Structure 1
């Protein structure tokens, strides 16, 4: 006898219901992205509260990013095996419980440990949002909601520091964790009643524990090398040891995945040119985003002598551009397909970086705002169509893994983007302590970013022209 059809299943074909599901799941991703940026403003307060230095304090932020990136593909694989509704609810519950524990922390060690727990919930949320949206919305209608997911991610990142500063000033640092609790509880309750069961029909095999372990060790070691290499010294024993650990673990991971009957990451997915190129250019886009985020604040301070308050305001046009134009990029993907919007977005973003490369000591506020706006516009147009292209290049039952990989690429691109930016500044050969030297080093660095953007544009254009399949298949091999 069949189980009775739930109310959610009866409503699943209706447009208003799809958007209700969308609102339910993005509340979780908004909370996670707010929390990823809200901690930055709390660091000085935590330093005084726990009497610790920056070397230990940085792990409050680093452990969150490392754990999320290290387990995202594992989360996606598990979600594709089980009921994605239940997995998502468990993620929100873990994140909320982690927030409560963080608020009760009595030492910096406890806070770091509970941030790690919180990040597990965050990874589960991030790894399922896109797959749930892709499941609820049919092909040809996914661009707009996925574009809005990009807007929510950007909005959460923007809101984090300002919200954190206000809460800390009014209620103390523990309030930045308590604020997650009502949102998390509402998200859990809404998910229970609104989300439909999403289960895979494929036969469940034994989970690849060894592959999951090797991936976690490999990717976390690589991120540590990229994020801490500048502090340790790129050629130091510590840096080389961590890099060697990463190389060995990732090499063994690939070997394990090729022989596993049910791997954590199905490497066969990369045989699809659309999937491979989509992930490559997605990675390049997040590396590119770190150039203005890292260089421009220093440039405005050292070269243009702009006050800190004004620097913060001048950096917002990029985020605003992404919030406004990500839904437009999704709409264009639904209307005209994903190829042209991704190519146009990457090209416009590259033009924005070119405008930054032309900044000099006489540049005005308008020059900075114009460059940041163009760059944000381009990245907004690019991101959601590219995500749609990647998600629709694989079977829907593998959308959990695919969404997790997209989020992994995003986090990994951000971390390695900082390292690449610092590397360009160093190899420019200029004295970074002088106005002229830093100005020339910044221009050199942005020209490097323009080169990456040009490469990304060429790769996206290979999907536009009639002969693209032959080219992308060669790349994926």
Structure 2
């Protein structure tokens, strides 16, 4: 509950600015780190597989702690979790920049992942607390814009800093941004009444969900190294599944669960969460594959390929706030359905890519993809958060981000497996992604299989969006 002495009513725009800029900072950091990985690998004298843990370790702890901090935020207050998250995220970024060996860098990135979980778990809940249901769509539109813009800008800005200064500066920039946002958050974010009742934290549930997510992601990460059919990978997946089942059974019987499983009986919420998972899977999978096509088949330089991918992101600037505003006026369902149609069209165009295809078709496919992302994300976020009550906004916010980021991870893994599996089926094994010696027709078969999967999943997302209309409590 917001306290009466809070200035939030007069500063709702400032609160939106703080939350949006914080998520921009987070995605900016992610984009800059990704583009700097090759340089980090050379500086620290480690292999590509080793340097990948700079990203993986952060992601492991981010996903593992999302639900936990969402639950804690519901009890101790969203501002408290958000502010502490900014402190941890900012200072761990500073010490990451000071790191001179891979062990310390990964260690500080783990700590930063915990800070990320604190920020991301309660950010949508703060927006839902400050903005009424009729104005949330537009607010989430700006948040979606900030997140997408930060990631896109991070790839360019991170490359600039790495090339002309040093990779260390990508962490220092984030540190100073974090300090400014920390000051603004302390001053402007609304104070909340901390519940005085005893906080009986679900430690068993926390251990089970952390174990499940970590084992699952570790199994996915190592599967490409040791093989999907190896005993070790099988056991990791098996234990992860067992932990997930035990988690669900425990949550159903404990008196103070980490996640109230019964909220998933709200089919509208469950369908929206599933849609968030699937669309992020498609978006991350396709954007992982597209650069390979542009460089291996079309022969574009990495710089030009990056520009082609970056340019359509500008459409998100228009689409996200507009989609949120339209959903406030006319309801979410039809706006969301229109975005899935755009995604289907984009996936079909990507299936048609070949060596002679013109750049206009490529840009059109990417533009449709950007529009779909810009429309779907804020509207779906609004529909999910509108299904939560004041006491559960933190946990619903965390569930949404858990589904979203799991989709991002799974997209890369699944599309990579489809691409490489198709190539292997054509008689080329152990092929690195950038081995241009592979026959072009073999590469094209891998791209076609990947984009065919994207089309099937896009149609499934459309079907889910249509089904949602039946369960919409507002019947827009």
Indicate the TM-score class for this superposition, using the shorter chain for normalisation. Answer: over 0.9
Task: Report the secondary structure of 2:228's partner residue.
Answer: coil
Instruction: Report how far residue 194 of structure 1 moved.
Output: 0.6
5+ unaligned residues in a row in structure 2: which ranges? 429-437
Instruction: Report how far residue 235 of structure 1 moved.
Output: 0.7
Instruction: Report how far residue 231 of structure 1 moved.
Output: 2.3
TM-score of the superposed pair, with normalisation by structure 1: 0.92
- Report how many aligned residue pairs link the two structures: 462
Q: Which of the numbers 459, 462, 465 marks the counterpart of 1:454? A: 459
Does the alignment pair 1:12 with 2:12?
A: no
Q: Which of the numbers 168, 174, 191 marks the counterpart of 1:174? A: 168
For the residues of structure 2 that align with 1:22 and 1:449, how far apart are their CA atoms? 33
Does the alignment pair 1:160 with 2:154?
A: yes
For the residues of structure 2 that align with 1:450 and 1:48, how far apart are their CA atoms? 38
Q: Which moved more, 1:65-74 or 1:287-296?
A: 287-296
Question: What residue number does 1:475 align with?
Answer: none
Question: What residue number does 1:284 align with?
Answer: 278
Task: Determine if contact 1:330/1:381 at 8 Å carries over to the other structure.
Answer: yes
Q: Which moved more, 1:421-430 or 1:267-276?
A: 421-430
Question: What residue number does 2:82 align with?
Answer: 88
Task: Determine if contact 2:141/2:324 at 8 Å carries over to the other structure.
Answer: yes
Q: Which of the numbers 38, 42, 48 marks the counterpart of 1:48? A: 42
For the residues of structure 1 that align with 2:43 and 2:450, how far apart are their CA atoms? 38
Instruction: Report how far residue 241 of structure 1 moved.
Output: 2.2
For the residues of structure 1 that align with 2:172 and 2:137, how far apart are their CA atoms? 34
Cα offsets for 1:178-198 (capped at 9, x unmatched): 112221111111111111113
Question: What residue number does 2:380 align with?
Answer: 386
Q: Which of the numbers 226, 229, 232 marks the counterpart of 1:235? A: 229
Q: What is the 5 A alignment of 1:62-461?
A: 62-199=56-193, 203-428=197-422, 429-430=425-426, 433-461=438-466
For the residues of structure 1 that align with 2:303 and 2:164, how far apart are their CA atoms? 20
Q: Which moved more, 1:400-409 or 1:202-211?
A: 202-211
For the residues of structure 1 that align with 2:298 and 2:160, how far apart are their CA atoms? 29
Task: Report the secondary structure of 1:112's partner residue.
Answer: helix
5+ unaligned residues in a row in structure 1: which ranges? 473-477
Distance 1:343 1:5, change over 3 A: closer
Instruction: Report how far residue 277 of structure 1 moved.
Output: 0.1
TM-score of the superposed pair, with normalisation by structure 2: 0.92
Distance 1:224 1:321, change over 3 A: farther
Task: Determine if contact 2:36/2:162 at 8 Å carries over to the other structure.
Answer: yes
Task: Determine if contact 2:76/2:195 at 8 Å carries over to the other structure.
Answer: no
Instruction: Report how far residue 51 of structure 1 moved.
Output: 2.0
Q: What is the 5 A alignment of 1:1-40?
A: 6=5, 9=6, 11-14=7-10, 17-40=11-34
Task: Determine if contact 1:431/1:438 at 8 Å carries over to the other structure.
Answer: no
Task: Determine if contact 2:20/2:142 at 8 Å carries over to the other structure.
Answer: no
Cα offsets for 1:38-66 (capped at 9, x unmatched): 11232233223322222221111110111
For the residues of structure 2 that align with 1:267 and 1:178, how far apart are their CA atoms? 41
Cα offsets for 1:318-376 (capped at 9, x unmatched): 53333331112111110111111111111211111111111122101111000110111
Q: Which moved more, 1:224-233 or 1:382-391?
A: 224-233
Instruction: Report how far residue 462 of structure 1 moved.
Output: 1.2
For the residues of structure 1 that align with 2:360 and 2:415, how far apart are their CA atoms? 24
For the residues of structure 1 that align with 2:311 and 2:305, how far apart are their CA atoms? 11
Cα offsets for 1:141-186 (capped at 9, x unmatched): 0001101111111111112122222223343222111112221111
Q: Over aligned residues, Cα RMSD in angstroms?
A: 2.1
For the residues of structure 1 that align with 2:20 and 2:268, how far apart are their CA atoms? 26
For the residues of structure 2 that align with 1:375 and 1:119, how far apart are their CA atoms? 28
